[in-house]
Amino acid sequence: MTGFYGEHSKVFVSVDCIVFGFDNDKLKLLIGRRQMDPGRGEWSLYGGFVREDESLVEAANRVLYTLTGLTNLYMKQVGAFGAIDRDPGERVITVAYCALINVKDYDENIRKDHGVEWVSIDEMPKLYSDHNEMVRKAITLLRRRIGTEPLSFNLLPELFTLTQLQHVYEAILGEEIDKRNFRKRVKSLDFIEKTEHIDKVTSKRGAILYRFNKEMYGADTSFRL
């Protein structure tokens, strides 16, 4: 460290991770009880302070890996939050990141070790400080991007039914979608592939399973649903 900027006040910089999952046809958020003061015991997002030897993205990836044990997750920056009184402990500026994971990929033992829980967005409690605002902005970001980016596939297993895909869209958008038009559009996209597999678990009649072809998507920039 140098002696530059010594005349200026110092502030802490942190990252907060807004982790979304999809289960039982609902968009869910990963939260836990805060384990430190101030705010001990309050519902909170999972986060951490940025270290001197890492960038914001590196810090967010570290926090996400610590929390989930997963790598190469879909992650987008939601924004910076720097209200003077947002943290009663110290002057803390935080940068929020949104991540999407498949709930089934998340080891239950890791979840329990961290004392975090999945809660439905519709039943989200009051969170610590400005964390509710972070979540609202993250949902707005997802709603803005879901029609032009294939982000929904990050919330689904490798093989999925068209009903499951539609329910992901409806959960994020917060509204019902016309089933006939949705399926017509999906079936016109080359990178959503029909497989020979049949889902006999969630569908009594047996529904065809599809998969997202990343290579095919990379050659097609016209995605829109």
Q: What is the pLDDT of residues 129-164, one digit of tens each?
A: 999 999 999 999 999 999 888 899 999 999 999 999
The C-alpha torsion from 62 through 68 and 71 to 76, rounded to 10°, is: -70
The answer to whether residue 32 scores a pLDDT higher than 60 is yes
d(Cα 128, Cα 89) in Å, to the nearest integer?
A: 13
pTM reported for the whole predicted model: 0.92
The answer to whether residue 184 scores a pLDDT higher than 90 is yes
d(Cα 35, Cα 43) in Å, to the nearest integer?
A: 10
The answer to whether residue 59 scores a pLDDT higher than 60 is yes
pLDDT, averaged across the chain: 92
Share of the chain above pLDDT 70, in %: 95
In the chain, at which residue ranges do the beta strands (DSSP E only) sit? Answer: 12-23, 26-33, 43-44, 46-49, 74-81, 92-100, 116-120, 192-199, 207-212
CA atoms within 13 A on the CB side of 174: 9
225 vs 87: which has the higher pLDDT: 87
Decide if 124 contacts 132 (C-beta within 8 A): yes
β-bridge mates for residue 76, sequence order: 98
Q: Give which of 140, 49, 30, 116 is closest to 87, Cα–Cα.
A: 49
